[in-house]
Amino acid sequence: MLRWIKQLWKRFESDKLERERWEAQRQRIAQTSVVQAREEALRVLQDEGVFRLVPASGMRDTQLLAQLPEDVRELATQYDRVDLVGTEDPWRGADGLDFSKIGPTELREGYWRIGRLAPDTDLYTEIAVRPGEPGVYELYWTLGEPEWHPSVYHWLLQMYWMERTSQDVEEH
């Protein structure tokens, strides 16, 4: 019984440490300018332990691209997908950004999907933009209001640091 309590306490402390580290990173990212977020995001995208970059394989619809925020357009011309490593599923692919399938979202009108997280689950989230407006949204299937990020770079940094924070805590 004592061993079980120690394991439970260790897990509680680990979760607490992860939440504290993640909250510090979340606040730092929120205060980062778009220019700084771009610079950092382009650097962390090279971390193959977190992201798998699939280069663009063809031409994009120029009318569609013109309606995307500039930051999203930059990545959409370079990549078909930016996959989150470790989320691959043989039936549905990987979570992340998918610029090869930009289209209307399923969860809200007036948004275009540029990616997804956890499809086929209660946590299903569409990564979306509003044509002609800056910012990236997380549209939740089970939650009300979307979460807004000032740029796709801020969103990528959130994904990166969530993964890195949980890996760091697991290692300790």
Digit-coded pLDDT (tens) for 102-149: 999 998 999 999 999 887 766 789 999 999 899 999 999 876 789 999
Higher pLDDT, 10 or 59: 59
Q: What is the CA radius of gyration of the chain?
A: 17
Task: Tell me what pLDDT residue 172 has.
Answer: 47
Numbers of helices and strands, H then E, in the chain = 5, 8
**Which residues, listed in sequence order, are joined to residue 125 by a DSSP beta bridge?**
117, 140
Residue 169 has pLDDT above 50, yes or no: no
Task: Tell me what pLDDT residue 1 has.
Answer: 52
Distances (CA, A) of 150 to 27, 34, 38, 76: 13, 7, 11, 17
Q: Averaged over 139-161, what is the pLDDT?
A: 90
Higher pLDDT, 32 or 120: 32
Task: Tell me what pLDDT residue 116 has.
Answer: 92
- Report the predicted TM-score, pTM, of the whole model to 2 decimal places: 0.84
Q: Averaged over 71-96, what is the pLDDT?
A: 88
Confidence of residue 7 (pLDDT cuts 50, 70, 90): low
The CATH fold assigned to 31-171 is SMI1/KNR4-like (3.40.1580)
Residue 6 has pLDDT above 50, yes or no: yes
Residue 13 has pLDDT above 70, yes or no: no
Q: Over the stretch 38-82, which tens digit does the pLDDT of each residue have?
A: 999 999 999 999 999 999 998 888 888 899 999 999 999 999 999
Residue 92 has pLDDT above 80, yes or no: no
Spell out the long-range contacts of 29-34 with Cβ–Cβ below 8 A and sequence spacing 24 or more.
29/154, 29/157, 29/158, 29/161, 30/154, 32/154, 32/157, 34/71, 34/150, 34/151, 34/153, 34/154
